[in-house]
Amino acid sequence: MKILFIFENNRKDDYSNQLRLAYDLLKKTSSQVSMCYVDDQEKKQKIYADIVISNSLDSNIQKKIINNKIILIYLEEYKHRKKCDLLIDYKYKKSSKCFTGLKYKINNNKLPLDFISILNVINKLKWDTNFWGYPVYIISTRILTKNILYRIDLLFKNEKVRLLQYLCDCHDRESVILAEKNNFNFKDIRITFECELIDKQYAKLKCDKEFRIAKKSEVKEIQALSKSLYKESRYYFDRNFNKKQVQEFYDQWTYKAIYGTFDDVCFVYCEKQKPVAYCTLKYTDHKQATIGLFGVGGTYSGKGYGKKLINNLLVFLSLKKIKKVLVVTQGRNYRAQRLYQNSGFLTKRTELWYHKWF
């Protein structure tokens, strides 16, 4: 989609600086990015863009954007949230439907994690597209508006799309209503847990000898542990997916983690040097880490290996000075939820997965 940055001529503050940094970095990733100043737009009758990114604009330009059903994104103070489709405010520290907090601040000419995908609104999932053999896209905004849906429909008239995924903020009533009215089908509840390591005593402990990084020679052995582990996932719940391919999807994920080409690393917990439980991990910004896949082999389930694996992982990450660990699981996966809760994780947020098939 075409993205237009609009700058105020004389504005100089933290938010205008963030807007300039966002433009300078985003234009490097796409030829669809352009810019202009407020004075230029006041002389024009129409704005030729799918997405406008700016600080707060005067009512005349804002009305022009709304009348043209253009997605409006503000990098601005939280109080302006009702004047746009999407707002990003790195200074606002409370929980919000908007993208808020220091993790959305641009520092040292580097865009925060997922910042580019948020500003693009809709993104093609390259790995998913290559694996399933048809175009798969995702809406990255967590909330839906009529303008977002309108621009997506325009884009898809020229793009052959088979599946559109949408992760919805479950607290935004309007987004849920819009999703269901526009043929998005509910597939899963996504629960994110987090564990703060700063005040924990893990750093004073040592990892068990049975805990280690997976070896490349153990790929098939570790993949075998995952058989039938992911039947609570949205891919199993959605009958449009081939069940054998779903298992292959997770097998590839495991393979890529062991080789460090998707997640960064795969850890295992062993019995007599044989892996009986595993988890994949990705390191993110601000000294955080995210657990990807987590599983205990069927014959070893219920023997405490999951608890041992997660405890050792927290000790390992504490020694690496990681401050926070995140993990995601399905709303229907009660066993995983209890494991994380019993290991010191707290619920961070709940979201809804929707799929729209074309």
pLDDT tens track for 160-207: 899 999 999 999 999 999 999 999 999 999 999 999 998 667 667 889
Q: Which CATH number fits domain 195-350: 3.30.365.10, 3.30.930.10, 3.40.630.30, 3.40.640.10?
A: 3.40.630.30
Q: CATH 3.40.630.30 in the chain: give the residue spans.
A: 195-350
pTM of the model: 0.90
Residue 19's Cβ-side half-sphere holds a number of Cα atoms within 13 Å equal to 29
End-to-end CA distance of the chain: 19
Q: Kindly indicate the confidence band of residue 103, based on its pLDDT and cuts at 50, 70 and 90.
A: confident
Which architecture characterizes domain 1-112 according to CATH?
3-Layer(aba) Sandwich (3.40)
Residue intervals of the chain classified under CATH 3.40.50.2300 are 1-112
> Where are the strands (E) in the chain, listed by range?
3-7, 33-37, 51-54, 71-75, 86-89, 99-100, 122-124, 136-139, 163-169, 185-196, 211-213, 265-271, 274-284, 288-296, 324-330, 346-357
Round to whole Å and give the CA distance between 302 and 227. 16
Q: Which of 61, 67, 17 is CA-nearest to residue 38?
A: 61
Which residue is associated with the tokens 């405490």? Answer: 304
Residue ranges with strand state E in 32-116: 33-37, 51-54, 71-75, 86-89, 99-100
Distance CA 62, CA 55 (A): 11
**pLDDT tens for each residue of 221-279:** 999 998 878 888 999 999 999 999 999 999 999 999 999 999 999 999 999 999 999 99
Residue 65 near residue 74, CB atoms below 8 Å: no
